[in-house]
Amino acid sequence: MERSLVLIKPDAIQRCLAGDIISRLEKKGLKIVAMKMVQMDHVLAQRHYAIHSDKPFFGELVDFITSCPIIAIVFQGRNAVSLIRQAMGETNSAKANPGTIRGDLGIDLSHNLIHGSDSQDNASHEISLFFSSEEIHDYNRDVDQWIS
C-alpha cells in the first residue's frame, strides 16, 4: 500500500489549523501509520528540501520550516501520494482551488500550510529522513473494508 510524507508546516501550527488539515486527510480514508512533532534543524531542512538548494528562496524556506515545531505524518492508502497532492492544492495558495487545503486556508506561495511528497520514490526517501521503520505502524482498521 502506498505511503506519503506529510508535514504540517509552521504557519499551520501557529494558526491552529493542524487538526483541520489532518482531519481532511483522515476523512478521505487515508490511514495515519506514523506521527510526531519535530523541531527541524537546518541539517534536516536542507536534506528534506535538497532538490530546491539552488533556488533563490531556499534560505527563506529553510528559515521558515525551522521557525517552530512541525508535525510529521506518514499517511498510507491507495494512491496516497496523488490523493494528498490533490487535497493540498497547488503550491501558490492564492491560486489553489477552493475545496483544497491551500485554496481554503493557505495565504500565499511560501505560507501554504502543508508539505506532501510528490512521487513514491521521494516519499520513501522523505519518510526515511523523519522516521525509523520501528516508528511506522502496521495495523488494521475495521473501516478499511469500505475504503481500501
Residues designated as active site: 115
The CB-of-9 to ligand IDP minimum distance in angstroms stands at 7
Name the binder of 71 from Mg ion, ligand IDP, none, CB < 5-8 A by kind: none
User: Which 90-119 residues touch ligand IDP, going by CB under 6 A?
Assistant: 91, 109-110, 112, 115, 118
Q: For residues 118 and 135, which CB has a smaller minimum distance to Mg ion in the complex?
A: 118
CA distances from 34 to 3, 22, 116, 134, 141 (A): 10, 12, 14, 10, 15
- Of 10-18, 25-33, 56-64, 131-139, which part binds ligand IDP (CB under 6 A)? 56-64
Containing H/E element for 87?
Answer: helix 80-88
Residue 51: DSSP 8-state: G
The CB-of-17 to Mg ion minimum distance in angstroms stands at 19
CA distances from 105 to 20, 42, 50, 72, 85 (A): 10, 27, 27, 19, 15
